[in-house]
Structure 1
Amino acid sequence: MAGVSVRDATLDDVALLRAWDEEAHVIAADPNDDWQWEEELQRQPDWREMWIAEVDGRPVGFLQIIDPAREDSHYWGDCEPDLRAIDIWIGPADALGKGYGTRMMRLAIDHCFATPEVRAILIDPLARNARARRFYERLGFAFVEERTFGEDRCAVYQLDRRTWEGR
């Protein structure tokens, strides 16, 4: 099985990310967000990382890791320090169901917990997205609450460091 690697997303990825934004499965998972790629990929705040996941040099997905207590839109509201939040998706439809998402998440989780202060990771799939919820639960994320972010009803999940390290 091919390995997944990640690299920083750059302005050169705008067309790719915009194309992925038009994929039916991406729209279904994130129907109401405009990521404003041209602007966001030029910013490099110290509280965020944006990655492109690749398999054998082929881009297959996107990952964003943020510090929700420090991120400037306050999407997560008031958050305690020492947390991270992850956004993830597979871009091309033909890359779905191949295990890439699992490997991407493991890379992201290990990266988050490589910082000793980070005690937990948050994720917020749509509440109605049963497949995504099962995916996160298999990784050890525990359901916290349903919450509305903007126009979207989401299921907030949290993965504690002890749970990840004890798997």
Structure 2
Amino acid sequence: MSIQDFFIFNCLEEKDLPLLHRWFQEPHVKKWWPVPKEKEDFFDSYLKRIHSTEISLYFVSYGNIPIGFLQAYPVDRSKETWLPKLPKNTIGIDQFIGEIDFVGKGYGTSFIKKFIDQLLAENNEMTVILDPDPRNKAAIRCYEKVGFVRVGIFPRKGDLALLMRYN
């Protein structure tokens, strides 16, 4: 049995929002993920996302312990104009580990790999991308271990993003 066998992806539900909000307050998450300042705005924003058909939100659990968050969405070039030309069947993912005891120990690499394996098992023609901040060296190392390669750095909403594609 490998570490990947212990990861479970549960759809995010309204009851999960207090824990997700707490994670967003953690310094290691807050540094890289923007979050509405007001708690009510956070809950409103994520309730809309939970009920959206355009994005899939997951709690990542290691066994029965929720440790992180993952979202997946079809990439829409009409909305994400900063992106270079990509295949039509492109999925973007964003994720983090919220529980500090699980950071820096290989859990991120393992759960991202398992999630991508599941996506590609459903459709092996899919392209998977992510776009970390180019200064987030730990995340970039993790994504490279998973199998992502650097495509380039692009301006995005007044900042820069490193586009990475799963190979």
Gaps of 5+ in 1: 161-167
Other structure's SS at 1:29 match: coil
Tell me which residue corresponds to 1:164: none
Residue by residue over 1:90-149, the C-alpha shift from the partner in whole angstroms, topping out at 9 and shown as x without a partner, is: 012122123221121012211221233633211111011111111111222111111233
In 2, Cα distance between equivalents of 1:134 and 1:87: 15
Matched, 1:14 2:22: no
Residue by residue over 1:47-80, the C-alpha shift from the partner in whole angstroms, topping out at 9 and shown as x without a partner, is: 422110112211100011111138xx82465754
Tell me which residue corresponds to 2:39: none
In 2, Cα distance between equivalents of 1:51 and 1:118: 23
The letter for the 2-side match of 1:44 is S
Gaps of 5+ in 2: 37-41
Identity %: 26
Over 3 Å counting, the alpha-carbon distance change for 1:48 and 1:117 in structure 2 is farther
In 1, Cα distance between equivalents of 2:125 and 2:156: 23
* Mapping for residues 41-120 of structure 1, pairs under 5 Å: 41=50, 43-45=51-53, 47-69=54-76, 74-75=79-80, 79-116=86-123, 118-120=125-127
* Structure having the larger proportion of residues in helix: 2
Partners of 1:84 and 1:112 within 8 A in 2: no
Tell me which residue corresponds to 1:163: none
Partners of 2:109 and 2:143 within 8 A in 1: no
Give the TM-score normalised by the residue count of structure 2. 0.81
Partners of 2:59 and 2:68 within 8 A in 1: yes
In 2, Cα distance between equivalents of 1:26 and 1:11: 20
In angstroms, what is the RMSD of aligned CA positions?
2.3
